[in-house]
Chain A
Amino acid sequence: GAVVSQHPSRVICKSGTSVKIECRSLDFQATTMFWYRQFPKQSLMLMATSNEGSKATYEQGVEKDKFLINHASLTLSTLTVTSAHPEDSSFYICSARGQGTGELFFGEGSRLTVL
Protein backbone atom coordinates (compact mmCIF):
# COMPACT_ATOMS: atom_id res chain seq x y z
CA GLY A 1 0.00 0.00 0.00
CA ALA A 2 0.87 3.64 -0.06
CA VAL A 3 3.65 4.71 2.26
CA VAL A 4 4.16 7.97 4.06
CA SER A 5 7.49 8.58 5.67
CA GLN A 6 8.27 11.07 8.42
CA HIS A 7 11.69 12.25 9.50
CA PRO A 8 13.04 12.49 12.11
CA SER A 9 11.17 9.97 14.23
CA ARG A 10 12.57 11.49 17.41
CA VAL A 11 14.14 14.86 18.04
CA ILE A 12 15.33 16.58 21.18
CA CYS A 13 16.11 20.26 21.07
CA LYS A 14 16.81 23.16 23.37
CA SER A 15 14.23 25.77 24.14
CA GLY A 16 14.32 28.63 21.64
CA THR A 17 15.59 26.62 18.69
CA SER A 18 13.62 25.64 15.58
CA VAL A 19 12.93 22.10 14.46
CA LYS A 20 11.89 20.90 11.02
CA ILE A 21 9.90 17.70 10.46
CA GLU A 22 9.53 16.25 6.99
CA CYS A 23 6.63 14.25 5.62
CA ARG A 24 7.07 12.42 2.33
CA SER A 25 4.73 10.35 0.24
CA LEU A 26 6.93 7.62 -1.17
CA ASP A 27 4.93 5.98 -3.91
CA PHE A 28 2.17 8.40 -4.77
CA GLN A 29 1.61 12.07 -5.32
CA ALA A 30 -0.11 13.77 -2.43
CA THR A 31 -2.07 16.83 -3.37
CA THR A 32 -3.08 17.36 0.23
CA MET A 33 -1.22 16.65 3.43
CA PHE A 34 -2.36 17.08 7.01
CA TRP A 35 -0.44 17.74 10.18
CA TYR A 36 -1.70 16.51 13.54
CA ARG A 37 -0.57 16.81 17.08
CA GLN A 38 -1.22 14.07 19.59
CA PHE A 39 -0.93 14.41 23.34
CA PRO A 40 -0.35 11.31 25.46
CA LYS A 41 -3.34 8.95 25.52
CA GLN A 42 -5.41 11.36 23.44
CA SER A 43 -6.73 11.47 19.92
CA LEU A 44 -5.21 13.39 17.07
CA MET A 45 -5.75 17.11 16.86
CA LEU A 46 -5.67 18.48 13.34
CA MET A 47 -3.29 21.43 13.17
CA ALA A 48 -3.34 22.38 9.52
CA THR A 49 -4.04 21.30 5.99
CA SER A 50 -1.38 21.90 3.41
CA ASN A 51 -2.02 21.91 -0.32
CA GLU A 52 0.77 21.71 -2.82
CA GLY A 53 1.65 25.12 -4.17
CA SER A 54 -0.56 27.15 -1.86
CA LYS A 55 -0.61 28.39 1.72
CA ALA A 56 -1.58 26.03 4.49
CA THR A 57 -4.95 26.31 6.18
CA TYR A 58 -4.59 26.36 9.95
CA GLU A 59 -7.17 25.17 12.44
CA GLN A 60 -8.47 27.57 15.03
CA GLY A 61 -6.05 28.10 17.89
CA VAL A 62 -2.96 26.97 15.97
CA GLU A 63 -0.35 29.71 15.59
CA LYS A 64 0.72 29.82 11.97
CA ASP A 65 3.84 31.84 12.76
CA LYS A 66 4.94 29.21 15.25
CA PHE A 67 4.12 26.15 13.18
CA LEU A 68 5.34 26.89 9.67
CA ILE A 69 4.11 24.52 7.01
CA ASN A 70 5.50 24.29 3.52
CA HIS A 71 4.22 21.95 0.81
CA ALA A 72 6.64 22.70 -1.99
CA SER A 73 6.13 19.54 -4.03
CA LEU A 74 3.60 16.77 -4.54
CA THR A 75 5.65 14.43 -2.34
CA LEU A 76 6.96 16.62 0.46
CA SER A 77 5.49 18.74 3.21
CA THR A 78 7.49 20.17 6.09
CA LEU A 79 6.45 21.39 9.53
CA THR A 80 8.83 23.77 11.27
CA VAL A 81 8.30 24.43 14.97
CA THR A 82 9.88 27.83 15.49
CA SER A 83 11.34 29.03 18.78
CA ALA A 84 10.32 25.81 20.44
CA HIS A 85 9.22 25.74 24.07
CA PRO A 86 8.77 22.77 26.40
CA GLU A 87 4.99 22.96 25.95
CA ASP A 88 5.54 22.22 22.25
CA SER A 89 6.80 18.78 23.21
CA SER A 90 4.41 16.33 21.60
CA PHE A 91 3.94 13.64 19.01
CA TYR A 92 3.45 15.14 15.56
CA ILE A 93 1.90 13.02 12.82
CA CYS A 94 1.39 13.79 9.18
CA SER A 95 -0.94 12.19 6.71
CA ALA A 96 -1.16 12.35 2.97
CA ARG A 97 -4.15 12.02 0.73
CA GLY A 98 -3.62 10.53 -2.65
CA GLN A 99 -5.56 11.36 -5.75
CA GLY A 100 -8.61 9.29 -6.53
CA THR A 101 -10.13 7.47 -3.57
CA GLY A 102 -9.18 10.03 -0.98
CA GLU A 103 -7.66 7.49 1.35
CA LEU A 104 -5.50 8.92 4.05
CA PHE A 105 -2.19 7.33 4.90
CA PHE A 106 -0.20 8.28 7.96
CA GLY A 107 3.44 8.67 8.73
CA GLU A 108 5.02 6.98 11.71
CA GLY A 109 5.06 10.20 13.68
CA SER A 110 7.79 12.40 15.10
CA ARG A 111 8.28 12.77 18.84
CA LEU A 112 9.53 16.21 19.72
CA THR A 113 11.03 16.87 23.15
CA VAL A 114 11.97 20.44 23.99
CA LEU A 115 14.30 20.83 26.95
Chain B
Amino acid sequence: GEDVEQSLFLSVREGDSSVINCTYTDSSSTYLYWYKQEPGAGLQLLTYIFSNMDMKQDQRLTVLLNKKDKHLSLRIADTQTGDSAIYFCAAGGSARQLTFGSGTQLTVLP
Protein backbone atom coordinates (compact mmCIF):
# COMPACT_ATOMS: atom_id res chain seq x y z
CA GLY B 1 0.00 0.00 0.00
CA GLU B 2 0.84 3.66 -0.05
CA ASP B 3 3.18 5.11 2.57
CA VAL B 4 3.44 8.87 3.03
CA GLU B 5 6.24 10.43 5.09
CA GLN B 6 6.72 13.94 6.43
CA SER B 7 9.06 15.56 8.90
CA LEU B 8 7.33 16.22 12.20
CA PHE B 9 8.39 19.78 13.00
CA LEU B 10 9.35 23.00 11.22
CA SER B 11 10.04 26.42 12.73
CA VAL B 12 10.41 29.61 10.72
CA ARG B 13 10.53 33.31 11.45
CA GLU B 14 7.59 35.49 10.48
CA GLY B 15 8.07 36.84 6.97
CA ASP B 16 10.34 34.00 5.87
CA SER B 17 9.31 31.23 3.49
CA SER B 18 8.33 27.80 4.83
CA VAL B 19 8.94 24.63 2.89
CA ILE B 20 7.24 21.45 4.03
CA ASN B 21 8.39 18.26 2.36
CA CYS B 22 6.59 14.98 1.77
CA THR B 23 7.49 11.69 0.10
CA TYR B 24 5.16 8.94 -1.04
CA THR B 25 5.73 5.44 -2.32
CA ASP B 26 2.92 4.58 -4.72
CA SER B 27 3.74 5.93 -8.16
CA SER B 28 0.14 5.37 -9.26
CA SER B 29 -1.14 8.04 -6.87
CA THR B 30 -2.71 10.66 -9.07
CA TYR B 31 -4.00 13.08 -6.45
CA LEU B 32 -1.64 14.76 -4.02
CA TYR B 33 -3.14 17.02 -1.39
CA TRP B 34 -2.07 19.45 1.28
CA TYR B 35 -4.33 20.01 4.26
CA LYS B 36 -4.02 22.41 7.19
CA GLN B 37 -5.27 21.59 10.66
CA GLU B 38 -5.52 24.19 13.38
CA PRO B 39 -5.82 23.11 17.04
CA GLY B 40 -9.13 21.41 17.78
CA ALA B 41 -10.37 21.77 14.23
CA GLY B 42 -10.90 19.56 11.24
CA LEU B 43 -8.84 19.56 8.10
CA GLN B 44 -8.90 22.43 5.64
CA LEU B 45 -7.99 21.65 2.05
CA LEU B 46 -5.22 24.05 1.09
CA THR B 47 -4.34 22.92 -2.38
CA TYR B 48 -3.82 19.85 -4.48
CA ILE B 49 -1.90 18.82 -7.54
CA PHE B 50 -2.45 16.12 -10.10
CA SER B 51 0.36 13.77 -10.97
CA ASN B 52 0.60 15.16 -14.51
CA MET B 53 1.63 18.58 -13.14
CA ASP B 54 5.02 19.78 -11.88
CA MET B 55 3.97 22.89 -10.08
CA LYS B 56 0.91 24.69 -8.90
CA GLN B 57 0.81 28.19 -7.44
CA ASP B 58 -2.07 29.67 -5.50
CA GLN B 59 -1.38 33.06 -3.92
CA ARG B 60 1.24 32.44 -1.19
CA LEU B 61 1.24 28.68 -1.72
CA THR B 62 3.42 26.85 -4.21
CA VAL B 63 3.30 23.08 -4.62
CA LEU B 64 6.18 21.33 -6.37
CA LEU B 65 5.98 17.73 -7.50
CA ASN B 66 8.93 15.56 -8.47
CA LYS B 67 7.15 12.50 -9.77
CA LYS B 68 10.37 10.63 -10.46
CA ASP B 69 11.46 10.90 -6.83
CA LYS B 70 7.88 10.80 -5.52
CA HIS B 71 8.56 13.99 -3.63
CA LEU B 72 6.05 16.73 -2.93
CA SER B 73 6.67 20.07 -1.27
CA LEU B 74 4.54 22.95 -0.06
CA ARG B 75 6.10 26.39 0.05
CA ILE B 76 4.40 29.16 1.99
CA ALA B 77 5.72 32.58 1.09
CA ASP B 78 5.83 35.40 3.66
CA THR B 79 4.83 33.07 6.48
CA GLN B 80 2.56 34.64 9.08
CA THR B 81 1.73 33.67 12.67
CA GLY B 82 -1.69 32.58 11.45
CA ASP B 83 0.01 29.93 9.36
CA SER B 84 1.05 28.07 12.52
CA ALA B 85 -0.73 24.72 12.30
CA ILE B 86 -0.23 21.10 11.38
CA TYR B 87 0.11 20.46 7.67
CA PHE B 88 -0.80 17.06 6.28
CA CYS B 89 0.31 15.68 2.97
CA ALA B 90 -1.96 13.04 1.47
CA ALA B 91 -1.72 10.86 -1.62
CA GLY B 92 -4.20 8.68 -3.43
CA GLY B 93 -5.96 7.80 -6.62
CA SER B 94 -9.42 8.85 -7.71
CA ALA B 95 -10.85 5.47 -6.92
CA ARG B 96 -9.15 5.10 -3.57
CA GLN B 97 -9.13 6.96 -0.33
CA LEU B 98 -6.15 9.03 0.64
CA THR B 99 -3.19 7.97 2.71
CA PHE B 100 -2.06 10.68 5.08
CA GLY B 101 1.36 11.56 6.30
CA SER B 102 1.96 12.05 10.00
CA GLY B 103 1.66 15.82 9.70
CA THR B 104 4.24 18.59 10.06
CA GLN B 105 3.82 21.00 12.95
CA LEU B 106 4.71 24.46 11.60
CA THR B 107 5.62 27.03 14.24
CA VAL B 108 6.01 30.63 13.14
CA LEU B 109 8.23 32.67 15.43
CA PRO B 110 7.78 36.43 15.74
Which residue numbers of A lie inside 8 Å of B, CB to CB? 1, 6, 34, 42-44, 46, 49, 93, 95, 101-109, 111
Contact = CB atoms under 8 A, between A and B. Distances in A.
- Chain B contact-residue range equals 20 to 34
Contacts of A42: 102-103
Interface stretch (B20-28, B37-45, B55-63): B37-45
Contact of A108 (B42, B95, B101): B42
9 contacts: A43-B101, A44-B43, A103-B45, A104-B45, A104-B97, A104-B98, A106-B45, A108-B41, A108-B42
B42 A34 contact: no
B40 A111 contact: yes
B8 to A, nearest CB: 9
Given A44-B100, A93-B42, A102 B35 contact: no
A106 B103 contact: no
A1 B94 contact: no
Nearest to A92: B42
Contacts of A46: 97
Given A42-B102, A49-B97, A102-B31, A93 B43 contact: yes
